[in-house]
Structure 1
Amino acid sequence: MDKKYITKSELSKIVGTSAPYITKLEAKDVFIDCIEDNKLLRFETIEAYLNNIDFTRDSQREANANKRDTQKQYITKKDLALAFGVSAPRISALDKNGIFKHCYDGKKLYRLAALKSYVDKLTKTKAPEEEIENTNNESFESQTVEDIRKFYQGLITLAKTPLQKASISKEEDIKIEKFLKNQELEKNLVDINVVKIEAFELARKIRDSFSSLPDRLSAQLLNQNKTKIHELLTIEINYILKALADDE
C-alpha cells in the first residue's frame, strides 16, 4: 500500500461510499488541491472529502445508506490505521488519549466520525515553535504564540499580493518559507505523548515476547549442542520480530 498516495477506489472504501460518488466529487474539483504528480495525496484527499460533507444535510441520507450496509457505518482501529498509512499502535495510543471518545457506538467506531477526529487532530493549528526559538526579534518576547502566528500570516498574505511583494525583505522571505515548511511538516508529526505511549507499548510487547522464550524453548533446547541451540534461538527470534513487524 502506498502510504503517501490514494486511489479513488481506495478512498471510496475508506469513507464508505460509492466509487461513482467519488468521481462526481472529483468533477466538482473537491480534490483539486490534493494532487501531486497526477496522484491523489492520501491525507489531504481524505481531509477534503470530510470537509466537503454537510453532516446536518446528509445525516438522513447517510442513515439510510447505513441501514442498507451496516458494515460501512463502522471502522476498526486496524482499518483506520491503514486508511492513513500509520501504525496500529499509533491509533491505539490516540484512542487512549481520548481522541475518539465521541466516536463510539458501544465498542464500535463510527467510520466518518473516527476519520474526522483523526484529521482534526493532525490539522489542529500549532505554533511554529522552531521559528519562535530561533528568531532574534526582541519584540517576540512580549508576544503570545497567537500574536506570532498573526505576524507570520500577515507576511504570507503580503507575499501573495503581487504589488507589495517587492516590499518584503530577504529575511522576511526566509521566515515565510520556513513557516510554510513547518506547517506542511506538522501534518505528519505526532504529539510527543502519543510517541511515548506507542514506544512504551512496543517495548512491553518486545519484553513479553522475549521473556517467555525460556519457558517455550526449554524442552527443545534440552541436551542440544551450541550449534543447534543457536539455530533454534535464531529461528524463534526471527519469528518474534516478524510477528511484531506484522503487528505494526
Structure 2
Amino acid sequence: MNNKTDNKFLMQTAVLAGEIMLKSGAETYRVEDTMAHILRKSDAEHVDPVAFNTAILVTLQEKGQEPLSIIRRVKSRGTNMCNIVQVNAISRRFCKDEISLKQTYEELTQIKGRQYSRLVYNLGTVGVVFGFSLFFGGAAVDAGAALIVGSVLAAFITLGKKLKFNDFFLDIFCGIGIAVVSILLQKFVIKNMNLDTIIISAIMPLVPGVAITNAIRDTLQGDNLSGSARILEAFLKAAAIAIGVGIGMAVGTGLLGRGLLL
C-alpha cells in the first residue's frame, strides 16, 4: 500500500474506528492503539495517532513525502461496550489480512450507535434502580417504590433526550424528577418507604462509574491530559446529579411545608 490515495483511505478508516470507540466510551490509549495497528498496514515511515476526549489527530508520513494529517472533532460521547468490541474485532481481522481495507471501512460504517430499542433501555434503567434498592438493604415496600421511581427516571431520561438536553442539564433534570417524585410518593402513597434508599438507588444509573474508571486507566497509562479531562467530566456529572437532587428535595419539601400539596 504505497500510493497516496490508499494511504488517505487507510487514514479515514483508522479515524472512523477511533471515532466510534471514543464516542462509545473507550479509553484514549485503547483508541490510539487500535488506530496505530490499522495505520501500520501502510509502508509509512512515521505513524502518529493521537486521541483526546473531544478530538482525534492522525498523521502519516512516507519517506521523502509530505505528511498526511486528518483531524476529527468528537462532540458526543457515551458508553457502548458492544461498539468497542465490534471495532476491535474488525481491526484485528484487517490486521490479519482476513478482510480488505474496503470491507473494513464498510463494516465500520455499519456499526450502529444503539443496539437496543428505547423500551429495552428504559426497562434496564428500571431494573437497575430496583436491583440497587435491594442491594442497599431496602425492604419489599422499598423495592416497590423503586419500580415507580425507576419508571419516572426512565421517562425523564427519554424526555430529556428528545428535548436534546446536554448531559449536564439532563442529569440535573433527572435529579429533580427523582427527588420530587420520591418525596411525593412517601407523602401520599407509600408512607413507610425509606426515602434515602430510594433516592440513592435511583441516581445509580446516572453515576459516572465508567468515566471515573477510564480516567484512572488513562492516567496510569501516562495520558495525563485525557485522564484529567475525564476526571473533570466525571466530577461535573456527579455535581449535576447532586444539584438536581438538592433542587428537587428543596422544591418537594418546600411545597409540602407550605401546604401547596394537599
Q: TM-score, normalised by structure 2?
A: 0.27
The structure with the largest helix share of the pair is 1
